[in-house]
A and B are shown apart, each in its own frame.
Chain A
Amino acid sequence: MVETAIIGRKARSPSQLAQERFLRRPWVRPSLWLLATLALLGIYAPALVGDAALVWKDATGWHFPVLGELFNAWAFSKQHDVLFNLLALALPFLALGWVFLSRWSRVRRLVIFGALVIAGWVALCWLPIGTTVDGDAQTFWRRKAQSEHTIAHWRELDAQQQAPFAIFPLIPHDFDATFAGQAFKTVGSLNPDTGSRFWLGTDSAGRDVLSLILYGIRISLTVGLVATGLSMLIGLIIGGISGYFGGWVDLVLQRVVEVMMCFPTFILIVIVVAMLDRNIFVIMTVIGLTGWAGTARLVRGEFLAQSVRDYVAAAEALGLPRWRIMFRHILPNTLTPLIISATFGVAGAVGSESGLSFIGLGDPTAPSWGVLMEQGRQNIRYGWLIWSPGLAVFAFIIVLNVIGSGLREALDPRQADG
């Protein structure tokens, strides 16, 4: 049986087998696609939402104002948008390079891409920001005034029969643009200022819900990744030390972990955020700082099991420093449960942030889904303010949960239930 299996099919590594098992799980493939779509929508939000034209051709030539928009300080509300804009520019290069250079080894590809991407970022950042002379480069990238090359500008020219060729984003206004007299417009109503539609209605300030939700993907991705990264890091350090050293260190750290386990985390987050100022970065830090107890316990168990293995004894006999044994030798063997718990952690962090915003402790300046839902709660008659952000949160969480449980069952068949 075993031999025929080996002869009949190409031999595959355990990771390849796990990958196959993972992709075979029901709903995993659609979830991956949905997650990728959400991430791409978030990364490329400036191309979908924004008042700068994508392409604008008039007598002075071709213009791509949206590119300059990516690095204009007034074009985004939060600093992490710069990161997403950089990602938006780097992603095609990365993908292209990955396809073309697939013959090279993975490490070599990573190094080369790292260098290329950094060089590309520097070049791309320099062009729109650095060119201060009123030369060709600047008009190519950049608009002279904020009102230039917008849909309003185009409509004005159109009225004079001088409309140039222009392509606009699907939603041709800024994501946080407030339209006077357009508060609580229902789903699909017409926006008289731009001639486009509010596909998901507007909120209490007359902002377009769809564009807020698209930019909200960025917030949710950042919150999920930063908060989970932080809690993983803390849990890894505390759990690792606790499991590797054992003895009284373990005893003390376990009490600390127990305290964090017993504390109702959400209540703690609510108190801390109420005490500090309501900034989205503060919120994600707090979520990260309070959610590490489960990870610590998990890592401790793994380290405890690994630290009696022969390879650890060998490393100790070689006289390697302790941190090296812990983080270079033991850690790679404990990554599997960490990855699984990180996937659920991202979902949990997004849920926490939305819940926090929902009860009115969110960052009112961030286009977060929870803040929109809070408006829906305050103005309970307007169902679209509940449905659309709520479905976004739900989709994000369920996709991550599906991927997480798929990973758990693929990587660790013993733990899988049912």
Chain B
Amino acid sequence: MLAYVLRRLLLMVPTFIGILLITFFVMRLRSTTFSEEAQATAGKGGEGVASSGDRKAGGASKRYQNLIDRFRRTGNDLPAVLNTHGFLASDDVLADLRAAAPDSPLKPSARSEREKELWLAGRFAVLPLAEVLRDDALAPLHGPASQALALCAHRTLDPPDFKRLPASEVNRLQARNQVLAQSVIGFRVESATPAVLAKDGSAAQAAIPAHYVTTDSALRAAAKRQALLAIADDPANQDEYGHSSGRAWRALLIDTGFMDFLRRLCTGDLYSETQQRGVFALIGERWVVTFWLNLLSILIAWSGSIALGIRSARRAGSLEDRATTGSLFFLWSLPSFFVGALFLHYLCTDRDAANKALFPASGLSSPNSLWMSTPLYLADLAWHAFLPLVVLSYGSFTSLSRYLRGNLLDQFNADYARTARAKGCSEDRVVYRHVLRNSSLTMITLGSGLLADLFGGALIVEIIFSIPGLGLLLFEGAKQMDIPLVMGSTVISVGLLLISILVADLLYAAVDPRIRSRYG
């Protein structure tokens, strides 16, 4: 038996890793909307160009902070799969900068793409960018280069970092981030390409991200450049920015976003941006709801369909059997969201002041449930959970009971059933003690196959009835592009699903004497 459990567990490992990989790749599908962001800030930040002095610097720093926030959410800390940034040289960086410059022949959208690529290169781009910044001959590119350098060198501190790192290190990093935020060199648009501006001012305005369209004096520009170079050259930072060939290869093969994601997953280090909390703390509050919803609904579906299946099989061909078949087929084709919406419309909405709704429209407990006694609280819970459970479980009835009916009909004529009848067993005993035990094997397999659908269905039901479960969390995260949250809740949902499938398998083994005997 233990061998069987181990075998099932080991088979589950590649499946789980595969699911993690798919989730990860799906998250990577999202194109980072840096260009959109840049355009949005360009639209908003018109005053940055017009105004002067310190207000400008403050505005620039705020925009920088916006970008950094955006960056973090879209995965600055999750470099691309097969990360080749370790091989970046100053030539590559220079090519990107030239392509992104306002006078390059590329289209504005392609230009901001190149720039975005550079920003996403992360810490490996810091030293090559410093090379560019050091070269006086490349003065027109210092603005964009400083912008890229400041973004790449930035180390965003998550709440877990404060716990892990010593206070001195945290202070140093925070101070460094502050210097980076203030050291973006503004460059004059006029001096860059006056011709482009004169021809079609608006297009060029949109093409040049507004973050560095400021007017630094030569003195201030030099000071900012010195500050950036000092950070890049600081021996204390070499661990982070410097690269050797070994490190580059490690980045290519091991240090990808996937590994980073796995590490964060294993250490519980995922942090939700939109909810401002750790992902696992959020999931910890929510998963119980989904778990109970699914468990109850599978129990309802199972017991209900066993009863229905046995009844139909024993009265096979009768009017009742045909009516059951027909209505189950009808139910099977009825989309659950349609039923849910109808329930909401007819049972959960107040008609008028006199006709109150029969059932609550959302949540799992009344607002005053905290002051209720336990039986009252349970009754309240049942009142809230009744409709969601109905919507969730009615769809599973059909396949389970149809299958059981067919299977029972086959088994009724099997040799062992005839033997049981011949030795004088009552028909009830034949059905419940002999035939049903054989059929329950296939029922378990079929039930575990339905689990995946059930989890998808739970998502819809949680959304319809606003039940604070895992599905709703995942849905909200997905709508707001909160990637750590979506990843965390997907992994946990799938984990729950895999565990349930495992349990079904173990049940199967417990019921089936053949497996028991084979694995001892």
Contacts and interface: CB of A to CB of B under 8 A. Distances in A.
Is chain B found bound to chain A in the same assembly?
Answer: yes
Contacts of A387: 342
A261 interface: yes
Interface stretch (B22-30, B134-142, B147-155, B196-204): B22-30
B490 A259 contact: no
Given A259-B22, A264-B453, A398-B330, 7 more contacts: A264-B459, A267-B471, A358-B460, A377-B344, A397-B335, A398-B334, A418-B406
A274 B460 contact: no
Interface string B402-425: 110110010000000000000000
A376 B464 CA distance: 12
Interface in A99-140: none
Contacts of B471: 267
A18 B494 CA distance: 42
B478 A397 contact: no
Contact of A266 (B344, B405, B456, B498): B456
A370 B490 CA distance: 24
Contact of A258 (B15, B406, B457, B479): B15
A373 B340 CA distance: 11
B78 interface: no
A49 interface: no
Interface of A: 255-256, 258-259, 261-268, 270-272, 274-276, 347, 351, 354-355, 358-361, 370, 373, 376-377, 380-381, 383, 386-387, 390, 393-394, 397-398, 401-402, 405, 417-418
B283 interface: no
Contacts of B456: 264-267
Contacts of B342: 386-387, 390
A147 B497 CA distance: 57
B409 A418 contact: yes
B349 interface: yes
Given A393-B338, A418-B409, A268 B22 contact: yes
A401 B460 contact: no
Interface in B378-422: 402-403, 405-406, 409
Given A264-B497, A270-B478, A376-B341, A390 B22 contact: no
B476 to A, nearest CB: 10
Given A262-B497, A398-B330, A373 B337 contact: yes
Interface string B354-397: 00000001000000000000000000000000000000000000
B501 interface: yes
Contacts of B26: 268, 271-272, 275
B159 to A, nearest CB: 25
Interface in B430-462: 452-453, 455-457, 459-460
The 7 closest A-B pairs by CB, nearest first: A266-B456, A417-B406, A274-B478, A259-B18, A398-B333, A390-B338, A264-B455
B15 A255 contact: yes
Contacts of B333: 347, 394, 397-398, 401
Contacts of A355: 335-337, 460
B463 interface: yes
B452 A263 contact: yes
Nearest to B313: A418
Nearest to A397: B333
A80 B334 CA distance: 28
B14 interface: yes
B335 A265 contact: no
7 contacts: A262-B498, A264-B455, A264-B493, A270-B478, A272-B26, A380-B344, A380-B345
A405 B490 CA distance: 34
B14 A255 contact: yes
A401 B331 CA distance: 11
B4 interface: no
Contacts of A272: 26, 29
B238 to A, nearest CB: 37
Q: Which of A274, A377, A383 has the most CB of B within 10 A?
A: A274
Given A256-B18, A259-B19, A358-B341, A275 B463 contact: no
A377 B341 contact: yes
B474 interface: yes
Nearest to B330: A398
B332 interface: yes
A271 B341 contact: no
B509 interface: no
A271 B335 contact: no
A26 B444 CA distance: 31
A405 to B, nearest CB: 8
Interface string B80-122: 0000000000000000000000000000000000000000000
A335 B329 CA distance: 25
Contacts of A270: 459, 474-475, 478
B474 A262 contact: no
A372 to B, nearest CB: 11
The A contact surface, by secondary structure, is helix
B478 A271 contact: yes
B486 interface: yes
Contact of A394 (B325, B334, B409, B498): B334
A134 B339 CA distance: 55
B282 interface: no
A259 B21 CA distance: 10
B338 A262 contact: no
Contacts of A263: 19, 22, 452, 494
B15 A262 contact: yes
A377 to B, nearest CB: 5
A380 B349 contact: yes
Contacts of B30: 275-276
Most chain-A Cβ atoms within 10 A of its Cβ — which of B338, B344, B346, B498? B338
B478 A418 contact: no
Interface string B1-25: 0000000000000110011001100
B486 A386 contact: no
Contacts of A351: 335
B170 interface: no
Contacts of B457: 266
Given A259-B19, A264-B455, A359 B463 contact: yes
A255 B26 CA distance: 19
B481 interface: yes
B316 interface: yes
Nearest to B402: A417
A387 B457 CA distance: 20
Q: Which of A264, A355, A373, A417 has the most chain B CB atoms closer than 10 A to its own CB?
A: A264
Contacts of B337: 354-355, 358-359, 370, 373
Contacts of B475: 270, 359
Contacts of B27: 271, 275
Given A262-B497, A274-B478, A417 B405 contact: yes
A275 B478 CA distance: 7
B394 to A, nearest CB: 14
Contacts of A359: 337, 459-460, 463, 475
Given A358-B341, A417-B402, A417-B406, A377 B478 contact: no
Contacts of A377: 341, 344, 464
A196 B498 CA distance: 56
A380 B361 CA distance: 10
B338 A373 contact: yes
Contact of A264 (B336, B346, B452, B464): B452
B231 to A, nearest CB: 34
Nearest to A269: B456
B501 A262 contact: yes
Nearest to A275: B30
A264 B475 CA distance: 14
Contacts of A256: 18
Nearest to A359: B463
Contacts of A370: 337
Nearest to B361: A380
Interface in B307-335: 316, 325, 329-330, 332-335
A398 B409 CA distance: 26
